[in-house]
Amino acid sequence: MDQIDRKLLNLLQEDASRTNADLADAVGLSPSSCLRRIRRLKSTGIIDRIVAILRPAKAGRGMKALVTVELEHHGEQQTRRFLDLVTKEAAVIQAYSVSGETDVALMLHLKDMEAFDALCDPLFREGSNVARYHTMFVIRTAKETTAIPM
C-alpha cells in the first residue's frame, strides 16, 4: 500500500459517495487507474464494505448505552455462546469479547428505556450465563467515527 492508496482510503472513509472521477482528481490519477486501485483495495479486504452511516436519533434509535458483562462461567465456548446470543439482537451494534474484569462489552442503540428493558430479559436473564452487567447510558457524544487513520 502506497501513499496514493492511503489518500484514497482516507477520502473514501470521509465520503464514500464521491464519484470515481472526483477521487481520481483528488489523488492525481486517471479515473481508470483510480478504479483499479479501489477494486484492488476491495479484493484484498482492506475495504471491508461500503455502507451508509445513519444518525441514530434521526433513525429513531437516539438512546445509546454501553453495557459491560461479566459471565458466570468462563471459557471460549461459554463466551462464544453469549456472543452468538447478543449478535442476533438488532439493538446491539457492537459486541466485543474483552480482557480484564469484564468479559464482554456491548454498544446498544435503542428507541427508549422500554426497549432497553425488553432487551434485558433475553440477554441477561437466568440461563444466559450472565453473572452481572453494568449499564452506562450515553449523555453526550464527544467523538464517534468509523474512520481508521491512514
Helix, strand, coil percent content, the chain, rounded in steps of 5: 40, 20, 40
Tens of pLDDT, residue by residue, the chain (150 residues): 999 999 999 999 999 999 999 999 999 999 999 999 999 999 999 999 999 999 999 999 999 999 999 999 988 999 999 999 999 999 999 999 999 999 999 999 999 999 999 999 999 987 889 999 999 999 999 999 999 999
- State whether residue 107 is helix, strand or coil: strand
Cα 117 from Cα 67, distance rounded (Å): 13
Q: Which domains does the chain have, with CATH numbers?
A: 3-43 (1.10.10.10), 63-137 (3.30.70.920)
Cβ contact 8:27 at 8 Å: yes
Residue found under cell 450465563 = 129
